[in-house]
A and B are shown apart, each in its own frame.
Chain A
Amino acid sequence: MEAAGSGGAGIDRAAFEEFLIHEATLLDARRFRDWMALFTDDGTYWVPAVPDQRSPFDQASLFYDDRDLMKTRVDRLEHPLIHVQTPPSRTAHLVGNVIVEQADAPGGEFVVGSTVIMVEYRDDAQRMFAGRQHHRLRRVGAGFRIVQKRVDLINCDSAFEAIAVPI
C-alpha cells in the first residue's frame, strides 16, 4: 500500500469526502441501523481511551465494537426504555481536513484521515467532541464500506459524562 497525498496517485479525494459526509449525516439523522450497514461484516468501530493507543485488546477503550456489539448498541438505541436517551441527543458532525493517507487501488482498500467535530445537545446541555478520525475503507461495487473507523478524541483520556451515541 502506498502513501498518497490529497488527490495524489490518481485518487479522487472528493469521493471519500462525500462518503464521510454521508456517514456523518446518517449519525446526525439517528439512522443508526443504516450507519451500521456501512460497515463490512468484519468491520469495527474504535474510540481509544488514551492517545496513540496501539491496540484495542490489551487496554480499555471508550468504544470497541465489532458488528455484534454494534447491533446490541443499535438495538439499545432503539429501545423505548433507554433512559440516557430520554430525551434523545441531537448531534451535528463536521468533517474536514480530509486526506487519503494510504491507498491500495488494485486491492480496493484506502485509509482516509479527517478531522471530526461533533456538537451534541441533550436535556438542556450542549457539549463538544473533537479529534482526528481514520477510516479504513474497502471498495464494494460502486461505493465503500468501512473496515475500521477509529476516532482519536483530543480528550480521550478525560472523564466523560455519559456518551450514548457514536461519535
Chain B
Amino acid sequence: MLNGYTEDIAKLIEPGRVHRRVYTDPELFELEMERIFGSAWLFVGHTSQVPKPGDYITTELGRQPVIMCRHSDGSVQVLVNRCSHRGAKVVNERRGHAPRLVCCYHGWSYDTDGSLLSVAVPEGCCKGFDKEAFGLARAPRIGDYRGFIFANLAATGPSFEDHIGSMKGNIDDLVDRAPDGTLALDVGMHRYVYNGNWKLQVENVLDSYHVPFGHASTVNKEGVQFARREGDQKGAAVIETKKQQTAGSWKDRKSYIVGNGHGWTSNTMLDDGKRSSQAFDEYKRALANKVGAERAMQILTPRLHNSLIYPNMSIMGLNIHVRVIKPLAVDRTEVTIYPIRLCGAPESMNFGNIRLLNVTHSAASFVQTDDLESFVRTQKGLRSNLTDWVDISRGLGDEEPERELNATRGLATHEMVVRAQYKAWLGYMREAI
C-alpha cells in the first residue's frame, strides 16, 4: 500500500529506472487523477472546434466530464459537465450547437458561461435559493495560446505561462506553416483505445528508438518507409539494409527537454529541396506571398518532429496532427488524433494530410497499430513481479546543455525524454493537494 505518502512514491522513480507499479497500480492511478490531472495544465481543445457562440465539444479532463463552448460574448469557456442540481451529465453529445445547455433530468438550463438561467417549477425552490450559486462549475483557470485551449482544475499552482514556457515555440512551428497564420481542428478525428497505461503513449511520442523494429512492417526491402507527405517522392530511410542497422537519419536525430516534462525531437525535413508537387509548390507560393520568401524558407526549414506538452498532448510535425491522451483506467487509455487543416493552404494539400493520417494514425493505420500492440504487450509483461523495474537508462549521463534553446539535448534514440517525464511526474505526485 502506498497510502499516498510522497516518500513512498519517490521510491518508485530512480535515475535510470521506474518501478512497474507506476504502470499497474490502480491506487497510484487514482492519485494521478488527483495530483496530475487534477492540478496540471491540460489541453482541452482548439478554438476552431467551437467557431460560433453556442458551439460546444465535450471531453474529459482526468475524471471530470467537461464542456468547452463558445459563449455569446465570444469567449471560450470550460465548464464541468455535471448538473448543479442532482448531478446528471448535462450535455451528452460529443459536439454540437446549443445556445442553452439543458439538463435532461429536471430541465435546469444554463447559459454557455455556466450561469443558471432557469429551473422548472421555480416556486418549489426553498427559501433563499440562490441561482447564482448554482451555475455549472467552471475550470478555475484557462490558458489560450494561438487558439490552443488549456485548462487547470486547480485554482492555484504554476501559471499557464510558467507551464507552457518555451513550448509556445513548438506551437508556433506548426501554426506558422498556415499561410493565414491560423489552423483548424475541423477535419474529423481518429480515436483509438488500448489496454495499457496512459504513460505508454506519452513515452512513445518522443521515442525514436522503436521505429526501425516496432514499425518494421511499414518498411520495404530497401529499408524505406512508404512516402508520407504531399510532394515527397519517397518515404524516409529507416533501416540501412546492408548493415542491418538503424539508418543514420534516425540515429543522429536529437531530442530536447525544457522542464515540466515537455520535450521534442528534431530534424524532420519539411522541405529538402526535392519535395515538390503541384499542391506543395502552390502552398509554398501561398506562404511566401503572406510572410515573404525569407520567412517562408525559415518556416520550411527543419526543426521539429514530435513535441510533447506534458502530460496530455502532443503535436506531430511530420504528418501534422494534434494528439490528446486520455487515461480511462490504470490499464485502459483513449487517444484522439486531430488532423490539422492549415488555413490558407491549398485544399488538395490539406486533403493530402487527411489521407496520410488515415494511413499513419487511424485505428486501422499501418503505423499506429503496431504501437498499440507494443503498449498492450507492455501492460501484459508488467504483470510480472519477478522483475520490478522498467529500464529507461539509455543515454543516462550523456545529456548536454543546449544554451541557444535554453534546453537539454540528447539523442532521440536515448531515453532522456522519458526520464524528464518521470521527473515531472514525481513533481506532481509528491504535491499533496
Are A76 and B217 interface neighbours, CB within 8 A? yes
A50 to B354, CA, bound (A): 14
A163 to B190, CA, bound (A): 12
Write out the residue numbers on chain B whose beta carbons fall within 8 Å of the beta carbon of A162: 192, 194, 363-364, 368-369, 372-373
Are B188 and A163 interface neighbours, CB within 8 A? no
Q: A12-60: which have CB < 8 Å to B?
A: 47, 49-50, 56-60
Given known A47-B364, A58-B354, contact A84–B187 (CB-CB < 8 A): no
- Interface check A97, CB cutoff 8 A: no
Are A58 and B193 interface neighbours, CB within 8 A? no
Are A57 and B370 interface neighbours, CB within 8 A? no
Chain B contact residues (Cβ within 8 angstroms of A): what range? Answer: 35 or more
Are B192 and A160 interface neighbours, CB within 8 A? yes
Write out the residue numbers on chain A whose beta carbons fall within 8 Å of the beta carbon of B188: 49-50, 59-61
Q: Which residue of B lies closest to A68 (CB)?
A: B226
| Contact among A56, A81, A161 with B217 in the assembled complex (CB-CB below 8 Å) | A81
Q: Which residue of B lies closest to A60 (CB)?
A: B188
B189, B213, B357 pick with most chain A CB within 10 angstroms: B189
- Interface check B271, CB cutoff 8 A: no
A75 to B366, CA, bound (A): 11
Name B residues whose Cβ lies closer than 8 Å to a Cβ of A: 94, 187-195, 213-214, 216-218, 220, 226, 334-337, 339, 347, 350-351, 354-355, 357-359, 362-364, 366, 368-370, 372-374, 377
Are B354 and A59 interface neighbours, CB within 8 A? yes
Are A163 and B369 interface neighbours, CB within 8 A? yes
Write out the residue numbers on chain B whose beta carbons fall within 8 Å of the beta carbon of A72: 226, 359, 366
Name A residues whose Cβ lies closer than 8 Å to a Cβ of B: 47, 49-50, 56-64, 69, 72-73, 75-76, 79, 81-84, 86, 157-164
Are A84 and B362 interface neighbours, CB within 8 A? no
Are B373 and A83 interface neighbours, CB within 8 A? yes
| Contact among A58, A69, A161 with B187 in the assembled complex (CB-CB below 8 Å) | A58
A92 to B335, CA, bound (A): 28
| Contact among A57, A63, A82, A86 with B362 in the assembled complex (CB-CB below 8 Å) | A63
Are A159 and B220 interface neighbours, CB within 8 A? no
Q: Which residue of B lies closest to A66 (CB)?
A: B355
Are A64 and B358 interface neighbours, CB within 8 A? yes
Write out the residue numbers on chain A whose beta carbons fall within 8 Å of the beta carbon of B359: 69, 72
Write out the residue numbers on chain A whose beta carbons fall within 8 Å of the beta carbon of B335: 159
Write out the residue numbers on chain B whose beta carbons fall within 8 Å of the beta carbon of A59: 187-188, 354
Write out the residue numbers on chain B whose beta carbons fall within 8 Å of the beta carbon of A50: 188
